[in-house]
Structure 1
Amino acid sequence: MADEHERIEAVFEELVELVLRGEAPDLEGLFARHPELSAAERERLAVRARIFAGASDAERLPFERLGDFQLLRRLGAGGMGVVYLARQESLRRLTALKLMRPELAGDATAARRFEREARAVAQLQHPGIVGVYAAGEEQGVRFLALEYLEGQSLDELLRAEGPRLEPTRVVRWGRELAEALSSAHAQGVVHRDVKPSNVRIGLDGRARLLDFGLAQLADASALSASGSFRGTPYYASPEQVDPRGKTIDARTDVYSLGATLYQCLTGQPPFEGASSAEVFHGILTREPLRPRVLAPAISRDLETVLLKALEKDPARRYASAEAFARDLAALLEMRPIAARPPGSFTRVVKWTRRNRGTSAAAGVALVLGLAFLGLLIGQRMQARRRFEAELARAAATRATDESEEGLRAVERALALRPEDGRALALRAQLVRDAAKTHARESLDRARADS
C-alpha cells in the first residue's frame, strides 16, 4: 500500500504541474507516460483529477472564514494543498493560507507531510525562506498560515520572460537561495524539492524558498520507507531517483538548485524526456549538455559552477550549499571561483557516459590498436636484441683476427639498422683489419717463396 500511495502522489503532482502551467490535464497522455500504474491506481487518479479540476475551475472560496483567518482570494495550488490570500484578524496582517486538499482528508501520509512542512518551516529563520505564522486544524481542515510575499514564482517568471533569463539576475537569485539552503541545512533540514515553482521572487527582486512539504528533518530521516521517488523529475538528483545505498543530504539540494539555475540560463532542464522514466534515465546515465552550447553568452566560469553543482557523484559536487553560494558570489563580484573544470581523464569518462554507442566502437578500436602497437613494439625489441648480438659478435672477432667472420656479423647487424653509427664504424675497422691481415699474409708468402 505504501508503494501504491507513493506512485499515485508522484503522478498526481505531475498532473498538478501541468494544470498550473496552463496545460489541459490529459489523463490518457499521463497514463501512457506511466505504464507502471495499475488499473485501480489509474481509477483513483482519475477521481482525484476530477476533484482537482472542479476546484481549479472556480475562484470561489470554500468558506469565508477559517478560525482567525478571513479568506480573500485564491492564490494557487499544488499537489498537497490550495493556497489562499487571507487576513489574520487578530494581528490584522495578510497571510498565504495553505489548506490541505479536501480529497486528502483522512490520508495519514498526506497529513504527516503537511505536519512535516509546518515543523520544518517553523524552525527556520532566514530572510531567504518564507516563514510560517501558524499551523493547526479548524473545522476538520488542516492549514498553514505562511508569510505572504507579493511577486511571482520563478516558473511564472520563466513563462512570462523566458525561456532564458538574464544571467546576472539568475546568479544573484542562486546565491540567495544557496544561502537560504545553507541556513536550513545548518538546522538539520534538507528541502528535497527545490524547483522553479518553489521559488518566489518578491517585488524587491529577492528570491525566497518555499514549500518544505518534502523536507527531510534531522530527527525524522526515514520519510519514505518504500524508497520510492518523491519530488519533481526534472530537478531530482541521481540519489533521489535511485536511492539504493545512497544518502540524501545537503548535496541533494545543491544538485536541484543547480538544475533550477541551468533551466533559467539555458531555457531547458538538464534532462528532458517523453516520460518520467526517460528523464530518470538521463539523470542516472547521461551528462547534461554544456550550458554554453545552449546559451553561448554564459561565461566559462558560470558554466563550470553549474556543472560542478550537477555532478552525478555527490562527492564531486559542492560539499555544501555554503560553498555553492561562495562561488556564485565570486561570479557576481568578478573574483576567481573555487570550482575547476574537469580534468582530461574525467572528461573522457563523461564523454564515454554520454556517447555509449560511439565509445563502445572506440573501445574496440582502441583494443585492436593497442594489440597492434604491442606487436609492433615486440618486433622492434626483438630486432634490437638481434642487432646488439651481431654487433657484439663482430667486435669480438677483432681480438681473434677473424675479421672475415666479423665482417659477416656486422653486415647482418647493418641489415637490421643500416644507418647505425656504431655498426658503420666497426665495419670500417674490420675492413682495415682484414686489409692488414691480407697484406701480412701476402708478405709472409713472398718471403717463403724467396
Structure 2
Amino acid sequence: MGAPSLLRGSVFADHLIMERLGSGGMGTVYLAQHPRLPRSVALKVLDPELGSDRRFRVRFEREAEVVAQLDHPNIVGIHDRGIESGLLWISMHYVPGGDLARLIRRHRRGLDPHRAVHIVTEVAKGLDHAHRRGIVHRDVKPANIFLGTEGRVLIGDFGIARTTDAEATETVGPPMLTRAYAAPEQWAGGATDPRTDVYALGVTLYELLTGRLPGAGVQQSLPPRLAAVVAKASATDPADRYQACGDLAAAATAALSTNHRRHIASAALGTTVIVAAAFTVWDILRPGHIDGDPWPAPAMVEIPGPPFELQCPTPYLKSDRGPKGLCTAVDTAKNEATFYFYYPRTSEREYREGPFSIESPSEPVKKQKDGTTYISGPTVTSSFVGAVNVGHRYDADREHGAFARDTFGGLLPFLSAFESLPVCRTIADC
C-alpha cells in the first residue's frame, strides 16, 4: 500500500533512485543520489492514498518543519522537501547501518549490556536536545533508531512529534501509536511530555537487553540494578519515571558499572518480578487486548476492532514489531471498508487508509495459476488506482508472503508494496 514503486535507475524529484530501503506507516523510503552533491540521501515518499487526505499531508510536511528546528549529531537531519507528480517527498540524511529493529532480530537473546546501554545513551542525547526545544518525539522505538558508523546512533521519524507549547496547534488525524512502546497517557489521550519518550526508551532498553518486548510470554532475567532502571523508566505514572532521557541513560550506565556482569539469582528474580509486575499491570489497563494464534493455512479470521470487526488474512507476516496483518473493517450500513494493520501479539490496530466504498465482495481465498495463494477482503473503489483488492499474497510453499494490492482498470498493475516477509506459522514463532 505504499507509494508507486520507484525503479532502480529512475529519477524522481531530480534524485537518482539507487534502491528501495523499506516502507513504513506513511510511505516508502529509497536510497537516492543527491541531484547536485556527491552524496547519498534517504528519500521518503508519501503514500499517494494518504496524500489525498489533508491530515496525513500535514503530518508528513510537519516532520520536515519539526526536524529543521533540530541540529544534533544524534538526530537524523532533513535536507529538503517538495512535491513531484503530486507526491510529497522528504530528503533526509542517509544512515548506512540500518535500523535498530533489524539488529534486535539478529540478537534474539539480547545485546551485550554495554552495547545496549551505549545505544540508549546516544538516543537519549538526541531526545533531550529535542525536549529542550519543546518537541516530544512520541514514537520512540527500534524501527526509528538508526545505526551509523563508528558507534554513532541517531533517532529519526518525527512524523507524529508534538510541541509542548500549550498554545500550539496540534496535528489532527487518526492516532498512529505503536502499542508496545506507547505510554499509558498516550492511550488515554492525555498530555504528553518528555517523560512519554522516557517510557518508550525504557521499553527499548528492555528489548535490547533481552531480545523481547515486555509481556511477550518469555520470562527474562535482568541484572538487578538494570531491572530496577527499566522498572522506573516504564512506570505507569509519569511522575514516577525519570524526568529526562539523560537521567535514564545515566542510571543505566551506573547500574551497568555496579553489576559488572554479576548475576545474583535471588536478587535478580525479585527485581525481574517487579519489572514483570509493572508491565502486567499496564497490560491489563491497555484497551482491547486479545489473545489468539493464526490458522496454520491461509484463511480469513474475525478480530474485534475499531469500530467494526477486522477481517484479517492469516497466517500473519513477520515484521520488526512481530506478527502483522493487513486487515479490513467493513461498515455494512455505509457499504464502506477501512484498512488497518493488526499486530496480534500486542493487539494493536494501526489505522492505514480509508474508508473506501465497496464495489463488490471477493472470494476470500484464491489459488493462483503460479501456485501462490491470495487472501483478500472486498474489492473497493480507490480514487487513485480504480478498483482495488488488497490482502496478503503467499508463495506456493507459504513460507513467505507480502502485503499486496491487485488493481482492476486502474493506473497501476499488481503492486506488492513491501518486500517479501517470512510467514508466522504461530504467533510465538514471530
TM range (shorter): 0.5 to 0.7
Q: Match of 1:194?
A: 140
Q: When you count strand as a share of all residues, which structure comes out higher?
A: 2
Query: Counterpart amino acid of 2:156?
Result: L
Cα distance, 1:213 vs. partner? Answer: 0.5
Whether 2:219 is the aligned partner of 1:294: answer: yes
Regions of 4+ moved over 6 Å: none
CA offsets 1:137-183 (integer angstroms, 9 cap, x no match):
23322111100110121111111222422211111101111111101
SS of equivalent to 1:233:
coil
- Asked if the contact 1:66/1:139 (under 8 Å) is kept, the reply is no
Matches within 5 A, 1:49-448: 51-52=1-2, 60-61=7-8, 64-219=10-165, 221-223=168-170, 229-243=175-189, 246-272=190-216, 294-296=219-221, 298-331=222-255, 333-334=257-258, 354=281
Q: CA separation of 1:269/1:93 partners in 2, compared to 1, >3 Å: closer, same or farther?
A: same
Cα distance, 1:354 vs. partner? Answer: 4.9
Unaligned runs of 5+ in 1: 1-50, 274-292, 342-346, 358-450
CA–CA separation in structure 2 for the residues paired with 1:164 and 1:333: 18
- Asked if the contact 2:202/2:234 (under 8 Å) is kept, the reply is yes
- Superposition RMSD in Å: 3.3
Cα distance, 1:184 vs. partner? Answer: 0.6
Q: Match of 2:293?
A: none
CA offsets 1:81-130 (integer angstroms, 9 cap, x no match):
11111111212221001111122222101111111111111111111111
SS of equivalent to 1:98:
strand
Q: CA separation of 1:95/1:114 partners in 2, compared to 1, >3 Å: closer, same or farther?
A: same
SS of equivalent to 2:98:
strand
SS of equivalent to 1:234:
coil
CA–CA separation in structure 2 for the residues paired with 1:333 and 1:71: 46
Q: When you count helix as a share of all residues, which structure comes out higher?
A: 1
- Asked if the contact 1:172/1:328 (under 8 Å) is kept, the reply is no
Q: CA separation of 1:253/1:354 partners in 2, compared to 1, >3 Å: closer, same or farther?
A: closer
TM-score of the superposed pair, with normalisation by structure 2: 0.57
Query: Counterpart amino acid of 1:170?
Result: A
CA offsets 1:200-223 (integer angstroms, 9 cap, x no match):
112323221111111102457553
Unaligned runs of 5+ in 2: 261-267, 269-273, 285-430
Greater CA deviation, 310-319 or 88-97? 88-97
TM-score of the superposed pair, with normalisation by structure 1: 0.55
Q: CA separation of 1:68/1:241 partners in 2, compared to 1, >3 Å: closer, same or farther?
A: same
CA–CA separation in structure 2 for the residues paired with 1:163 and 1:124: 35
Q: CA separation of 1:355/1:152 partners in 2, compared to 1, >3 Å: closer, same or farther?
A: closer
Larger radius of gyration: 1
Cα distance, 1:333 vs. partner? Answer: 4.9
Q: CA separation of 1:198/1:183 partners in 2, compared to 1, >3 Å: closer, same or farther?
A: same
CA–CA separation in structure 2 for the residues paired with 1:161 and 1:270: 16
How many residue pairs get matched? 271
CA–CA separation in structure 1 for the residues paired with 2:283 and 2:46: 46
- Asked if the contact 1:229/1:241 (under 8 Å) is kept, the reply is no
- Asked if the contact 1:71/1:85 (under 8 Å) is kept, the reply is yes
CA–CA separation in structure 1 for the residues paired with 2:171 and 2:184: 16
CA–CA separation in structure 2 for the residues paired with 1:356 and 1:194: 19
Cα distance, 1:272 vs. partner? Answer: 4.8
